[in-house]
Amino acid sequence: MPTFVYMTRCDGCGYCVDICPSDIMHIDKTYRRAYNIEPNMCWECYSCVKACPQHAIDCRGYADFAPMGHSVRALREEEKGTISWKIKFRDGEEKDFVSPIRTTPWGSIPPPTDYAAPSADAMKSQELAHEPDALNVDALPAMPPERFKEGLL
Ligand code: SF4
Ligand code: SF4
């Protein structure tokens, strides 16, 4: 479900531009409002939808999500600690789905440049970059190398 912007709600703050991992949210140079330059390249991550302070970004739902003619809104309400999805069907029926926010506060995730460069030995580790710190655990459970051979003929 790619996103689109309601230009009358957008104030051109640029949060969606900064957060979009696909780099497809741009500010129109004439109107100073955001728009999705290539919906086909949208990851459908909804980071922009949740980050927009003006609630100016909506999603275009596919037919396998809800029958055509519906509209869908995702709303991140930090004060309530919730993400809610509102679907309005073409017959006017509305359904709301509310879940708790499980993301970390804006700006609280350190960028890769804040970490020390990995050592050559890190290439032999089973851990991904910045694990286990990024998972807030002291250590990850690791498989002893001899167990990798279990089950092989
Ligand atoms: Fe970019 Fe994700 Fe928004 Fe798509 S949903 S425009 S990929 S931030
Ligand atoms: Fe416009 Fe919202 Fe993007 Fe800000 S985050 S530029 S208000 S669409």
Q: Any idea which ligand is nearest the CA of 2? A: 1
106 an active-site residue?
no
**Residue of the CA atom closest to atom 6 of ligand 1:** 42
The active-site residue, picked from 31, 43, 62, 106, is 43
Condensed to tens digits (0 to 9), the pLDDT of residues 99-127 reads 888 777 778 878 888 888 888 888 888 88
Q: What pLDDT does 151 receive? A: 63
Domains belonging to the chain, first-starting first, are: 4-100 (3.30.70.20), 112-143 (no CATH)
32-41, 51-60, 113-122, 129-138: the lowest-pLDDT one: 129-138
Q: Note the pTM of the prediction, 2 decimals.
A: 0.67
Closest Cα to residue 1, out of 53, 36, 52? 36
**Amino acid code (one letter) for 30:** T
Q: In what order do the strands lie in the sheet with 94-100?
A: 3-5, 57-59, 71-77, 82-88, 94-100
